[in-house]
Amino acid sequence: MLKKLLFFAFIVSTTTLFGQNKRMLPYAIQEGTLNEQFSNLSNMSKSQAGDFKLIRRTNLEIVRKNVLDSISRYQKEIATLKANSSSSTGTISSLRDSVTTLDAALQAEQHKTNSISFLGIDFAKGSYHTMVWSIIIVFVLAFLITLASFRKAKVDTNEHKKTSEQLQDELQTLRKKSLEKEQQLKRQLLDEQMKRNS
């Protein structure tokens, strides 16, 4: 008898323990994901012949309300995501426009820094520097040539001056000599005439 009593107590205690683990249907279908709620609803509904199950209307309304709440929440999330997506698209578009504008400005600035305008003509810096240094070298060479020719002209002028002074001195001496000779000849002529007259 004791064995029967212990066996009966064991069966009652296991039944109550397993029964406590199993949730009541309205609470089971209100918690968890939709899939879990449908599974709990299906498992806890009464089976009717074969493929049919009897579901309480209140339980069905609870699951329906949960489904509609989930759909509404998902629709709000989708709308929020779409709004964020469209604002992100607008932001991306404006950023692309800004990048294009900045790129154009950067290229213009690079062109300005890499080129120099001279007499209304744009030159690359390298060619401009080459041209400027070529002009400077030409001017320096022209200056040196002019200086050298000026010095040569000065030396030539000094030489011509000396030569001219020498020639003038020689001419003066020749004039003096010719005057002296002329005077001598005149004297001789006068002397001869005087001799003839006497």
Digit-by-digit pLDDT tens for the chain (198 residues) are 666 655 666 665 555 544 444 445 566 666 777 777 777 777 767 776 767 777 777 777 887 888 888 889 899 999 998 888 888 888 888 889 999 999 998 888 887 777 777 677 777 777 778 888 999 999 999 999 999 999 999 999 999 999 999 999 998 998 888 888 888 888 888 888 888 887
What pTM does this model have?
Answer: 0.37
Contacts of 125 (CB under 8 A, 6+ apart): 114, 115, 116
3-state secondary structure of 124: strand
Looking from the CA of 176 toward its CB, the CA atoms found within 13 Å total 6
Buried b (16+ CB within 10 A) or exposed e, 57-78: eebeebbeebeeeeeeeeeeee
Structure tokens at 177: 């000599």
